[in-house]
Amino acid sequence: MLLTGEFADREATVTALRALRAKGFDPEAIDLYSPEPVELEPGLLDRPSRMSLAAVAGGVTACLLAVAFVYYTQTSYPLVTGGMPIFSLWATGVIFYEMTMLGAIAATFLLFLWESGLLGRRAFPAPEALDPGRIYLRVRCEPHQLVTAGECLFEAGVVRVKKDKLP
């Protein structure tokens, strides 16, 4: 079942979230929708992220590709310019640096799309219209958990609750 609670302020939403977590609801089963980001304490609704790692991996990969490409272009027709070695780190270091950063930037953007869910199809549609100033908390639960989840929302001061079947 999908239980969606509409809240008027951040404090009530956080209270409901705390209660849901205390009752054993997993962060994976909870979604929060808001027109602005809602600041939550650490551990309440953390989403694991590999974005920093992806940025490093993207940078390293792009750097290696840049080194390979520059090495290939310079050795395929070995032309001496300015008395520099054919493959010179001094003369090409800037290119490696810029390509490293480009790889890191591209990887960050791709991971943003992936982790935010904007790339793939969503398993559950979002609430239809986000009312400005309202925060929506949605819980996926088994039928036997419905009452517990509902209690968490009501005790926190939910404005409205909507119950849907899982698509």
Partner 1 sequence: MAAALEIPHDRLRQDLWRPLRGAGAWYIVAVVLVGLLVGWGLFAWGYQIRTGIGVVGKRRPVMWSFYITNFVFWIGISHAGTLISAILRLTHARWRTPVTRAAEAITVFALMIGAMFPLIHLGRVEVFYWLVPLPNERGLWPNFRSPLVWDMTAIFTYLTGSVIYLYLPLIPDLAQLRNHAAGWRRRLYKLLSLGWTGSDREWQALERAMKLMAGMILAVAVSVHTVVAWDFAMALAPTWHSTIFGPYFVAGAIFSGIAALLLVMAIARRALRLQAYLQPLHFDNLAKLLLLMSLLWVYFTVSENLTVWYGNEPAEMAVLGERLRGRYAPLFWVMVVCNFAIPFVLLGIRRLRSIGTATLSAAAVLIGMWLERFLIIVPTLARPRLPAAWGTYSPSWVEISITVATFATMAFLYLIFCKLFPIVAVWEYKHASDR
Residues that bind partner 1 (CB under 8 A): 10, 31-40, 45, 47, 49, 51-52, 55, 69-70, 72-74, 76-77, 79, 81-82, 84, 88, 91-92, 94-95, 97-99, 101-102, 104-106, 108-109, 111-113, 115-118, 122, 126-127, 129-130, 132-133
Q: Please report how close the Cβ of residue 3 comes to partner 1 at its closest, in angstroms.
A: 16
Q: Please report how close the Cβ of residue 150 comes to partner 1 at its closest, in angstroms.
A: 21
- Residue number with CB closer to partner 1 (88 or 147): 88
Q: Please report how close the Cβ of residue 155 comes to partner 1 at its closest, in angstroms.
A: 21
Q: Please report how close the Cβ of residue 144 comes to partner 1 at its closest, in angstroms.
A: 26
- How do beta strands 30-33 and 160-164 pair? unpaired
Specify whether the CB–CB gap between 39 and 10 falls below 8 A.
yes
**How is residue 67 annotated by DSSP?**
H
Q: Which runs of E-coded beta strand occur in the chain?
A: 2-7, 30-33, 135-140, 160-164
Q: Please report how close the Cβ of residue 123 comes to partner 1 at its closest, in angstroms.
A: 12
Cα gap 95→28, rounded to integer Å:
42
The CA-based diameter of the chain, rounded to the nearest angstrom, is 79
- Residue number with CB closer to partner 1 (74 or 145): 74
- Residue number with CB closer to partner 1 (11 or 142): 11
- Residue number with CB closer to partner 1 (135 or 141): 135
Size of the chain, expressed as the number of residues it contains? 167
Of 70, 74, 137, 71, whose CA–CA distance to 98 is shortest? 70
Helices (H), 82-141: 89-116
- Residue number with CB closer to partner 1 (40 or 146): 40
